[in-house]
Amino acid sequence: MAKHLTAAEIVDKMIRRAPEAAETAAAGIAKMKETPGAAANRQKEKYRREVLAALENGSYEAGNSSYTLVEFQEVAAKKIRDRMAQGLSDSREKALQSWEQLKSYQDNLSRQIASMPSSTDADMEARMIAARRGMKKFKLAKRTRR
């Protein structure tokens, strides 16, 4: 950016150029040969070394202390307000699938527990334990990414 532009002019220019920049970024993504996760997996020893160094030299704590509680609360609340409703709307189908799986599992578990005896305290405890252990076993089925 040229030094003679004002801040507003720079921002306006960035906004005008954003669609072209997004296309350039998308083209770069299309040329990738591996996922970012695979690349990160190859670098895990470097990551471990750098994390340990940050813990030793104090930069980890300095980074975690670089903002106040009020600053964090303001930024986090703004992001939540800006993104939460849209994110939920965008993921409605996935949320429905997840809740349908959970409800189906809970219904089956409830039928199993309802068939258990419930006459004594020990029976009631067994039902509570069965409910707890049953829910602990629940796992969502793998979902495909969009």
Q: Determine the structural domain holding residue 40 and report its residue range.
A: 8-66
Would you say residue 121 lies in a domain? no
Would you say residue 82 lies in a domain? no
Helix axis angle, 121-137 to 92-114, nearest 10°: 150
Residues 138, 98: contact at Cβ < 8 Å? no
Would you say residue 37 lies in a domain? yes
The total domain count for the chain is 1
Q: Name the token pair of 121.
A: 């305290």
Would you say residue 136 lies in a domain? no
Kindly report, residue by residue over 33-89, the tens digit of the pLDDT: 999 999 999 999 999 999 999 999 999 999 999 999 999 999 999 888 888 778 878
Would you say residue 80 lies in a domain? no
Kindly report, residue by residue over 93-140, the tens digit of the pLDDT: 888 888 888 899 999 999 999 999 999 999 999 999 999 999 999 998
Would you say residue 1 lies in a domain? no
pTM score above 0.75: no
Please give the full DSSP string across 23-45, using - where no structure is assigned.
Answer: HHHHHHHHT-SS-HHHHHHHTHH
Would you say residue 108 lies in a domain? no
The conformation of residue 58, written as its DSSP 8-state character, comes to S
Q: Shortest CA distance to 106 belongs to which of 136, 143, 129, 141?
A: 136
Would you say residue 47 lies in a domain? yes
